[in-house]
Amino acid sequence: MATLAGIGYDSHRLAAGRRLVIGGVEIPAERGLDGHSDADVLTHALIDALLGAAGLGDIGLHFPDTDERWRDADSIELLRAVREQLGDAGYRPVNIDATLACEEPKLASFRDEMRTRLAQASGLDPSAVNVKFTTGERMGFVGRGEGIAALAIATITEA
């Protein structure tokens, strides 16, 4: 049985008047991420990693920001849809590892809830989902607090 891996990356600008949703968890913050959907960078990076592992394109192909159906969409629901697409293609997720780059707010206290939400939507045990946090060390758009970025790797296998 083959094990395949995919990498996903996403970033969004921080903006006033938006909710901050990361890993399916709403985080209390003065600014949220700007995007067509809920702009959940962590979940978007994971979606791209899963789609990439299966050779199924990327999030923009399946949920384009030109389609009003996806305006303010819950990214956890998009992740559930991708899990179904993987199943239809004969695959299932095995493991997820992700890193979120963010200056503020501090997110460590939300880690377990993020892992649980991502695991449920992916059909995994939370022990198969790892979420890490880092900063931009005050460099670049992340370091200046202009946005948040996420990188994910996912492994899948034949169902």
This prediction's pTM = 0.96
pLDDT tier for residue 1 given thresholds of 50, 70 and 90: confident
Q: Which single residue is written with the structure tokens 């991502």?
A: 118
Q: Which single residue is written with the structure tokens 């049985």?
A: 1
Count structural domains, the chain.
1
Please name which of 63, 89, 75 lies closest in space to residue 118, comparing C-alpha atoms.
75
- All residues at 6 or more sequence positions from 63 whose CB lies less than 8 Å from its CB, including other chains: 37, 70, 73, 78
Which pLDDT belongs to residue 67?
87
CATH number for the domain spanning 90: value is 3.30.1330.50
Average pLDDT for 9-25? 97
Print the domain residue range for 41.
Answer: 3-158
State the angle between helix axes of 111-122 and 41-54 in degrees (0 to 180), rounded to the nearest 10: 40
pLDDT in tens, 27-73: 999 999 999 999 999 999 999 999 999 999 999 999 998 988 888 89
